[in-house]
Structure 1
Amino acid sequence: MCSDKESLAVGTELLVFGMAHIVYRYSILTNSWTRADPMNSPRCLFGSTSVGEKAYVAGGSDSCGRILSSAEMYDLETHTWTPLPCMNKTRKLCSGTFMDGKFYVIGGVTNNNKVLACGEEYDLERRSWRVIDNMSEGLDGMAGAPPLIAAVNNQLYAADYSDKDVKRYDKLNNRWITLGKLPEQCVSNDSWGIAFRACGDRLIVIGGPRTYTGGTIEIHSWIPDQQPPGWNLVAKRSSKSFVYNLAVMGC
């Protein structure tokens, strides 16, 4: 069953996917909500990303719990979903990103709760998928949480929550290089409760310390350079909950 709400920003719109596969669309231009068309194959727990006025989703789980390999593209101009070729592997709880003009889906869980260490690359021109072995090796938690990844200037980064490390993906050698640490106050439960996103030329981390009576949500940012991460605290506020999902708009 799909019960968690998920969100995806594309251009000037925010798509929110709710229960029963209902999709709502928020426009920052009109400051209004409207009911949107569902995907051709409604799903939850999918990998997603957006670039310009296009958004891409892949994998996930349908309302019967079946793990999917299908993928779709959303067009902001027409507000329509177009099916894409299926991935080579079924996967849910995966992560998506756009880099070098291609859509990447990495990590996740397949049938029998097997954690996948491979990724897949979708070539928009060739309309084909390519498996990249070990692309998310070591980035998935024991609970099968999606890898925390973000791309800045066509460079892929990851937050390794087990060791609180920030890593950069070496495309040539298909390996992860440790750059430094996440903000000290960011606390997660097998990566749940922390967000790692790109905003323009910055990486941002959203999370914070938790206690039995509540906690704090903090926003930290860093512009990747040749030095170890130097995180700047942008904002913080008290909160009784943690981060469930996050979409970044207007960067």
Structure 2
Amino acid sequence: MDLDSDKKRMNKTSSEYFLEEEKALDEETGIKITKNNEEQYDGQVNYRSNDRYLPGMYDDVALICLAWVRRFDYASLASLNTRFNTLIKEGYLYDLRKQLGIVEHWVYMVSDPRGWEWFDPVSDNWMRLPRIPCDECFNHADKESLAVGCELLVFGRELFEFAIWKYSLISRCWVKCEGMNHPRCLFGSGTLGSIAIVAGGSDQNGNILKSAELYDSSTGKWEMLPNMHSPRRLCSGFFMDEKFYVIGGMTSPNDSLTCGEEYNLKTKKWKKIDGMYPNVNRAAQAPPLVAVVSDDLYAVEYLSNMVKKYDKINNSWHVLGRLPVRADSSNGWGLAFKACGERLLVVGGQRGPEGETIVLNSWSPISGVIDGILDWKVLGVKEHSGVFVYNCAVMGC
């Protein structure tokens, strides 16, 4: 199977990918070579195992097996030979994983000046990403981030304008991302598969926005969406039931919003939801810490250090239990509250006898609440990394 054929097959649907067998005829030997590396001569079939991804196995079957290999091992896989390297580098396996519904979740975070690093909960391994090739202004300015598809997007301010840098899991490098139509900061955002939506925020002049944009990671392009009903900054966004929501935030330096807004991707319209987030946040407080697991919305109440669950039917919130770390001491800043597959993830710092440590705690809602107690499990620990989480994103692919 040559590389051009590889790429052509990976762009087809799964049924076409596994069923199509284009054949070539070697006129000198009379041997037909199929795309599955079969030799057919005088009606008999011999298999050229040495030309396959996995000896003794059809390539289409081998690719399915390789798709189940942990992403942590892709670097080792790519180093085996040129053919495996191309398979990883061109993203063929990621396309196949998407078709097969294979998902692993990695946690990306930055908690010290050395830059971004990622954590694989399955292998319990930490790795550091290359440094972003940005200017010093971007390095020291406040940043926001989100993971969409196989990309990590980091939003910040360079010397003269807002900038977006993205790290591709496939190419394993940073590149400058195409800018938004309305550059902004302090916005709400959420991701659904290969798309992301950002809404609200502030422009370079400090104006509070009600515009929204959709980013498609497959094309790298931004598309304007209809405006929200209210301008808001310091808000939070998320997808739930395949709809995008924005809650919280401030519509002016002194006025907080308790309403939420729902954007329907099919009708392309916003709907206002009064009282969706009654916890009023002030300018000194972090945007709402929210996460969605199995289409259920959860949030952190900073002042009480409690986790709440949203009742979609009654538009109300119910207290579940206490956080494993304190959020009140810093008004919610420096703490990450994310969905990681079927678990809620809290990433925060603590000081101990051996210094400053970042701890990743997880809780699965299906385990339930016992006597008002959530059974938090330590998912991972990063020692000597400070106690403040500046940015955090969870990538599932």
Question: TM-score, normalization: structure 2?
Answer: 0.60
Partners in 1 of 2:364 and 2:327 — Cα distance?
18
Deviation at 1:140, TM superposition (A): 2.9
Q: Matched residue of 2:365: which SS?
A: coil
**Code of the aligned partner of 1:249:** M
Give the equivalent residue in structure 2 for 1:248: 394
Cα distance per residue 1:83-120 (max 9 Å; x no partner): 00000000000000000110000000111331111111
2:170 is the counterpart of 1:29: yes
**Code of the aligned partner of 1:97:** F
Deviation at 1:141, TM superposition (A): 5.3
Partners in 1 of 2:289 and 2:302 — Cα distance?
8
Partners in 1 of 2:273 and 2:218 — Cα distance?
32
Contact 2:285 2:332 in 1 (8 A): no
Deviation at 1:139, TM superposition (A): 6.0
Unpaired runs of 5+ in structure 2?
1-137
Partners in 1 of 2:283 and 2:306 — Cα distance?
17
Give the equivalent residue in structure 2 for 1:52: 193
Alignment CA distance shift 1:40-1:27 (3 Å): same
Partners in 2 of 1:146 and 1:119 — Cα distance?
13
Alignment CA distance shift 1:249-1:139 (3 Å): farther
Partners in 1 of 2:317 and 2:300 — Cα distance?
11
Partners in 2 of 1:185 and 1:150 — Cα distance?
17
Alignment CA distance shift 1:165-1:185 (3 Å): closer
Partners in 2 of 1:39 and 1:131 — Cα distance?
25
Give the equivalent residue in structure 2 for 1:131: 272
Give the equivalent residue in structure 2 for 1:4: 142
Partners in 2 of 1:189 and 1:22 — Cα distance?
27
Alignment CA distance shift 1:206-1:6 (3 Å): same
- Counterpart mapping for 1:150-189 below 5 A: 150-184=291-325, 188-189=329-330
- Counterpart mapping for 1:73-84 below 5 A: 73-84=214-225
Cα distance per residue 1:152-209 (max 9 Å; x no partner): 0100000112101111000111111001110046665000011100011010001123
Unpaired runs of 5+ in structure 1?
none
Contact 1:185 1:208 in 2 (8 A): no
- Counterpart mapping for 1:54-93 below 5 A: 54-93=195-234
Bigger share in strand: 1
2:385 is the counterpart of 1:239: yes
Deviation at 1:143, TM superposition (A): 2.2
Identity %: 52
Give the equivalent residue in structure 2 for 1:40: 181
Partners in 2 of 1:125 and 1:185 — Cα distance?
40
Partners in 1 of 2:278 and 2:327 — Cα distance?
22
Contact 1:155 1:168 in 2 (8 A): yes
**Code of the aligned partner of 1:229:** L
Partners in 1 of 2:326 and 2:213 — Cα distance?
37
Partners in 2 of 1:127 and 1:136 — Cα distance?
23
Greater Rg over alpha carbons, structure: 2
Cα distance per residue 1:109-138 (max 9 Å; x no partner): 111331111111001111111111111112
Partners in 2 of 1:139 and 1:200 — Cα distance?
29
Alignment CA distance shift 1:137-1:149 (3 Å): same
2:348 is the counterpart of 1:203: no
Contact 1:187 1:194 in 2 (8 A): no
Partners in 2 of 1:182 and 1:75 — Cα distance?
34
Q: Matched residue of 2:219: which SS?
A: coil
Q: Matched residue of 1:149: which SS?
A: strand
Partners in 1 of 2:214 and 2:283 — Cα distance?
30
Partners in 1 of 2:386 and 2:194 — Cα distance?
35
Bigger drift between 198-207 and 239-248 goes to 239-248
Question: TM-score, normalization: structure 1?
Answer: 0.93
Deviation at 1:241, TM superposition (A): 4.8
Contact 1:157 1:168 in 2 (8 A): yes
Bigger drift between 27-36 and 49-58 goes to 27-36
